[in-house]
Structures are given as structure tokens and as C-alpha cells.
């Protein structure tokens, strides 16, 4: 079996036993990428020679010693391009420093390898907003991998990466993980430093792992977590060993099922998979409790005020002077800004900037932005109350399996509804994971994966991972 299709945990065992070398892993990975990525298009770039150089010096005594990890193209890795899949940055921006997560991966012996496709500036849920290439779902090339971390999820699913990092502002790790049949974890807000992540919506963004197994997600979370003086929103809290007690079981745990997440428009086959996972958790000794998160219906509207508002401010640095490709022959400075931004940004990014600027403009800020912040508080309080009663919450990740390319592209609102089950966790700052729970038939012959989402209280990743491990053990 190719080493590229194995998990971190399996590879680490073989590496420390001296049965394989880091160079063999890179060789197998290169073969896998060359064999499949012309069809999948998960990668924007890679440098196997540089990876071999790092692999030959890998310290195998470290927790991720000798393990290559793919990186979403919005996380800075020193000396590598970081385009956010935007024409604005393509061929011009080379990262001048390592994001904190990259320094931490390197310090743990991992080898950052390859840049992964995404929706431009992480805005989207299909990876179809990449201005560079279209990534295909490895289970059906006619379908999207989800997004915005579509490249990160597709590469793991296609066994052309061992594991990857993604970012999640409204579901961008969990939703593609569900659509591609892999594990995707969004940590609690503040658990992982955002330093070096190109900011989309700073009060919502978190970096997290896309992996083949729950244990691998825990292993990466161990490494990337922790306070960082370069990110004032990272929390001064201890990092527990997330890999411990993963198999402790769910007996005695109270798991909440919020009725608001089982919406009318949900595919009945997805509902069946989620219900069967819940039944299995009940049989494994968990107490299943019906709960209500009454403000769920406002989450999408709230997010689409707050996220664009923050984005419109964060993206002002891309002006052709400070960052981004510069328009030629503009008459004056203002024209240069306008021309550079008009040429550099794609249509979804422009739509978000316009939405956000409008929501923040004087006279409307109270009506939109302030109101959205107040609703955000209500959504957060829903969860606080629920977690007084239960240890974790089980929901679908997405009401349906991966759609076909272009299915929603004529209607942005339809695409915004893709995030209906994932967005509230970002608004509340709580951790969430998508774990594969089964497959459904979509066409005559095709089967597509479906994930289940587990949400936990703020900093409650231990419970989330334990329930996810139980679901993984069922399969």
C-alpha cells in the first residue's frame, strides 16, 4: 500500500520503528499527487525537492517528525506563495514569514508541503470561487469538494496528502470535510493562533486540521494549539493532550439534538445517516436529549452582516500599494487603488466588500452591524444554556451531499445557505468537528460521503473528539 494513503498515526509507528523513512513518504506522496492531482486539482503548487531536503533532516523523536502536511493557500509559509487563490496575489506575493501554526508544525518535525486550493480569500463553500482552478470532489469529479478549504479536504480524501491545514470562518473546514468524507476540526476561537492566516473575518476565523482519522486531528491540534503573543485573541490556556482518552467511550455523556438543525429542506438520506449515528451513540451508552437552540434561524443572516463587515475592513490592505498586483497606468492614487482592486478581486469578494461597507456605513451601522452583534450574543447564549444541560451537541454538517459544479452558482443566496448548520459555531466561538458517518446514493451508481457534526462548549474539544472517535469506530 502506498504510504500516501496512510494516517499520521500509522506512519509515525512505522517511522519510529525504522520500517519506513521520511524520504519514502515524500516519494510515495509525489507519485500519488502526480497520478491523481491532474484530475482533482487540489494543489496550487508544491515543491517536492524542498520537502526532500527537510525530510532528510527530520527529527523522528518529535511528535510529527517526518510527516508532510499540506497547507491551505491563505496561511503564510516562509518563502512560499500565499495567493488566497486570488489573481490579486498570484505571482507576486511570497510569504516573508511563517504563520505561528507553521512554526509550530516545523518545531514538531512536520514538513509543510504544497499549497492547497480554496475559494478566493476563503469566501465560498464550493472552492468554485478560486480564481486559479476548479477543484473536483475525489468521489465524483462532477461534484464540488465543498469549501472554502476544498483543496485541503480533497487532497486528504484523494490520498494525495497525509493531512492538511484549513481555515474555518463559517464552516470552511467542516463542510468540505463532510463532502469529501474526511475528518475536519474547527477549534474553539482562541485555541489556535491566527497570526499569519490572511484575515477574512477576524472574530470568526480559526485554523484547524483536515485528516483521515480523529486521532490525527487530535495529534495536529496538540501541536498547533496554545497562546501566542503575536495574536492577542489567542487564549492563555493550557493545551491538554487531545490524543489521550479518545477511546474512553460515550457512556454517561449527555448529547443534545437541536431540533432547529433538522430543517425541512434536508435530504432525507442525510437525515437517516445522522439519526443512525445518534442511535449508535445511544446504544453505546450516551444519553440523548432533545434540546432547542431557538436563535438558529438568524445565524446565516447574522453571519452575512458580520463576516462581510470584517472582511471589508481586513481586505482594505489589498490596494496595489501595500499588497496585491498593481494596475498599470492609473492617472492618480485613487484611480490606482480603484483599478488595482477592480482587476484584482473576483466577483464574490467584491460582493462581500460592498455588503460589508454598506452594513458599516454611517446611518446603517446601527440597523445592520450593531443589530447583528446583538443577535450574535443571543446565539452564543443559546449554546451556553444548552451546554449547562449537555456535554456535546450532534447535528448534520450540511443538509445534503456535495452538489454538482455550478448547481448554485447563479444564486449567491442559495450558496450562503450551504452553511446553515456550521455558521453558528463560529458566531459562538465553540469547537466543531465533521466526522464521516456514511454514504448516500446520489446518482445511479455514485455514492457520496456524509459527515456528522459534533459541537462542544468553548474549549471543550476533548468531549468533541471523544464522541467523534466513537462515531469513527462504528464505521
Q: Name the residues annotated as catalytic.
A: 72, 148, 172
Q: Are 8 and 25 in contact (CB under 8 A)?
A: no
Work out how close the CB of 308 gets to ligand GLN at its nearest, in angstroms, rounded to a whole number. 8
Work out how close the CB of 172 gets to ligand GLN at its nearest, in angstroms, rounded to a whole number. 3
Q: Are 21 and 52 in contact (CB under 8 A)?
A: no
Work out how close the CB of 75 gets to ligand GLN at its nearest, in angstroms, rounded to a whole number. 13
Using the minimum distance from each CB to ligand GLN, give the nearer residue, 149 or 234: 149
Work out how close the CB of 422 gets to ligand GLN at its nearest, in angstroms, rounded to a whole number. 8
In this structure, the strands spanning 206-211 and 164-168 are antiparallel
Using the minimum distance from each CB to ligand GLN, give the nearer residue, 189 or 337: 189
Using the minimum distance from each CB to ligand GLN, give the nearer residue, 304 or 323: 304
Instruction: Compute the distance between CA of residue 378 and CA of residue 376 in angstroms, rounded to an integer.
Output: 5
Using the minimum distance from each CB to ligand GLN, give the nearer residue, 278 or 402: 402
Instruction: Compute the distance between CA of residue 153 and CA of residue 225 in angstroms, rounded to an integer.
Output: 20
Using the minimum distance from each CB to ligand GLN, give the nearer residue, 156 or 291: 156
Judged by the rule CB under 6 A, the positions of this chain that interact with ligand GLN are: 122-125, 148, 168-172, 200, 307, 419
Instruction: Compute the distance between CA of residue 161 and CA of residue 29 in angstroms, rounded to an integer.
Output: 7
Which residue of this chain has its Cβ atom nearest to ligand GLN in the complex? 172
Q: What's the sign of the alpha-carbon dihedral 285, 474, 161, 44?
A: negative
Instruction: Compute the distance between CA of residue 323 and CA of residue 320 in angstroms, rounded to an integer.
Output: 5
Work out how close the CB of 150 gets to ligand GLN at its nearest, in angstroms, rounded to a whole number. 11
Instruction: Compute the distance between CA of residue 98 and CA of residue 106 in angstroms, rounded to an integer.
Output: 10
Q: What's the sign of the alpha-carbon dihedral 186, 28, 137, 412?
A: positive
Instruction: Compute the distance between CA of residue 462 and CA of residue 252 in angstroms, rounded to an integer.
Output: 15
Percent helix, strand, coil in the chain, to 5, is: 40, 15, 45
Phi-psi region of 304 (alpha: psi -120 to 50; beta: other; left: phi over 0): alpha
Instruction: Compute the distance between CA of residue 265 and CA of residue 263 in angstroms, rounded to an integer.
Output: 6
Using the minimum distance from each CB to ligand GLN, give the nearer residue, 74 or 234: 74
Work out how close the CB of 79 gets to ligand GLN at its nearest, in angstroms, rounded to a whole number. 25
Amino acid at each position: 500500500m502506498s504510504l500516501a494513503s496512510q494516517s499520521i498515526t500509522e506512519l509515525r509507528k512505522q517511522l519510529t520503528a525504522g520500517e519506513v523513512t521520511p524520504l519514502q513518504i515524500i516519494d510515495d506522496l509525489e507519485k500519488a499527487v502526480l497520478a491523481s492531482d491532474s484530475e482533482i486539482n487540489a494543489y496550487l503548487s508544491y515543491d517536492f525537492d524542498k520537502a526532500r531536503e527537510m525530510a532528510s533532516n527530520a527529527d523522528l523523536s518529535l511528535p510529527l517528525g517526518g510527516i508532510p502536511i499540506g497547507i491551505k493557500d491563505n496561511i503564510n509559509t516562509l518563502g512560499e506563495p500565499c495567493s488566497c487563490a486570488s489573481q490579486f496575489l498570484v505571482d507576486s506575493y511570497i510569504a516573508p514569514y511563517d504563520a505561528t501554526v507553521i512554526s509550530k508544525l516545523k518545531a514538531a518535525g512536520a514538513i509543510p508541503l504544497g499549497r492547497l486550493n480554496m475559494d478566493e480569500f476563503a469566501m465560498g463553500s464550493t472552492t468554485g470561487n478560486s480564481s486559479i482552478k476548479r477543484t473536483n470532489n475525489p468521489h465524483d469529479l462532477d461534484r464540488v469538494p465543498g469549501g472554502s478549504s476544498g483543496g485541503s479536504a480533497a487532497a486528504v480524501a484523494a490520498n494525495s496528502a497525509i493531512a492538511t491545514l484549513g481555515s474555518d470562518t463559517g464552516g470552511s473546514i467542516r463542510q468540505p470535510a463532510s463532502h469529501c468524507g474526511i475528518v475536519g476540526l474547527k477549534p474553539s476561537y482562541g485555541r489556535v493562533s491566527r497570526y499569519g492566516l490572511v484575515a477574512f473575518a477576524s472574530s470568526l476565523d480559526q485554523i484547524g486540521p483536515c485528516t483521515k482519522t480523529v486521532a490525527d486531528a487530535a495529534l495536529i491540534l496538540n501541536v498547533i494549539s496554545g497562546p501566542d503573543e503575536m495574536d492577542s485573541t489567542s487564549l492563555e490556556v493550557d493545551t491538554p493532550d487531545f490524543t489521550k482518552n479518545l477511546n474512553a467511550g460515550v457512556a454517561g455523556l449527555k448529547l443534545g439534538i437541536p431540533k432547529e438543525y433538522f430543517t425541512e429542506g434536508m435530504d432525507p438520506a442525510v437525515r437517516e445517516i445522522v439519526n443512525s449515528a445518534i442511535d449508535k451513540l445511544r446504544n453505546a451508552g450516551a444519553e440523548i436529549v432533545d434540546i432547542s437552540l431557538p436563535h438558529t434561524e438568524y445565524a446565516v443572516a447574522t453571519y452575512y452582516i458580520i463576516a462581510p463587515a470584517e472582511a471589508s475592513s481586513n481586505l482594505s490592505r489589498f490596494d496595489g500599494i501595500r499588497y496585491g498586483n498593481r494596475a498599470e497606468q492609473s492617472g492618480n492614487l485613487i484611480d490606482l487603488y480603484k483599478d488595482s482592486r477592480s482587476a484584482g478581486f473576483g466577483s464574490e469578494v467584491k460582493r462581500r466588500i460592498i455588503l460589508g461597507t454598506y452594513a458599516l456605513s454611517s446611518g446603517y451601522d446601527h440597523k445592520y452591524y450593531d443589530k447583528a452583534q446583538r443577535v450574535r450574543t443571543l446565539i452564543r447564549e443559546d449554546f451556553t444554556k444548552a451546554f449547562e444541560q449537555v456535554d456535546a451537541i450532534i447535528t448534520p454538517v450540511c443538509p445534503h451531499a456535495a452538489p454538482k459544479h455550478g448547481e448554485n452558482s447563479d444564486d449567491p443566496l442559495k450558496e450562503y445557505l450551504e452553511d446553515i448548520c456550521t455558521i453558528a459555531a463560529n458566531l459562538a466561538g465553540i469547537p466543531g468537528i465533521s466526522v464521516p458517518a456514511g454514504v448516500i446514493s446520489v446518482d445511479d451508481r455514485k455514492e457520496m460521503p456524509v459527515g456528522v457534526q459534533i459541537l462542544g462548549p468553548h474549549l471543550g474539544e476533548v468531549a468533541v473528539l471523544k464522541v467523534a472517535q466513537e462515531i469513527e469506530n462504528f464505521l
